[in-house]
Amino acid sequence: MDIDFPLVLVVLTFATGLIWLADKVFFSKRRQAAGPDVGGAASDDTAEASEPWLVDLSRSFFPVLAIVLVLRSFLVEPFQIPSGSMLPTLEVGDFILVNKYAYGLRLPVAGTKVVSMGDPERGDVMVFRYPEDGATNYIKRVIGLPGDRVRYRDKQLFINDEPVAREFVARLPPMERWREEVGGVEHDVYLTLGRVAGNGEGEWLVPDGHYFVMGDNRDNSNDSRFWGTVPDELVVGKAFAIWMHWKSLTSLPSFDRVGSID
């Protein structure tokens, strides 16, 4: 079973904060009034030493947990790329940074937008929660905005009946590499040579408050062509940088791919 880390972080932060606050308001005064276990006046050191281990632990960890919660929830969150669906833009083992406020401030866990600061745009590389379970984080490129008509036929992408501009880059059997422009953003995509079974051809109308997303590895991506559009409440943030590449525990981390994400 996958661990919901944001939920665990929220629970731990509130639990340690409440324990520390309750002790500060109620129990610490009682301990000080009772004095030390052995005769003599209670000093600050004695009061600290008599502090229950759970309170001491909460007092130590709460500030750290609170800072991490704020950073992850409202500013920047790190993610690791687990699959090749965004090749060649993102490789398996890339560690990326996601801007959590680019599309507005959202409550942790619930994902409810409380402050609107912008909306996803065509060409953005976006992290979102998988619509079919509402929990697993996915990363794809935004292709269609609300009201757009998206069509994919014979490996050619159309938006509102206009073919997306592209040019051939290289043949890398079994792939072809093409440079494509979506929403003014140039990026490379992979197309598998030959016809791929279940290659996601079709036409879709993007509903209000939803986004149509696709992987750059077009014939090897589980995306909106197969399970539908992404509702706004499942949007997590905009991926903007690679900060490390570490494919497995048996290999060494690499910083050769550090840089911005197109």
- Phi, psi dihedrals of residue 227, rounded to the nearest 5°: -125, 5
- Choosing from 58, 73, 100, 140, which is the catalytic residue? 140
The pairing of beta strand 156-159 with beta strand 149-153: antiparallel
Q: What is the token pair recorded at 228?
A: 């539908």
Distances (CA, A) of 201 to 128, 167, 181, 198, 223: 23, 20, 19, 8, 12
Rounded to whole angstroms, the Cα distance separating 209 from 47 reads: 56
Question: For this structure, is 24 an active site residue?
Answer: no
- Choosing from 28, 58, 73, 85, which is the catalytic residue? 85
Question: For this structure, is 140 an active site residue?
Answer: yes
Rounded to whole angstroms, the Cα distance separating 258 from 253 reads: 11
Q: What is the token pair recorded at 120?
A: 């996803």
Rounded to whole angstroms, the Cα distance separating 138 from 262 reads: 17
User: Which residues form the catalytic set?
Assistant: 85, 140
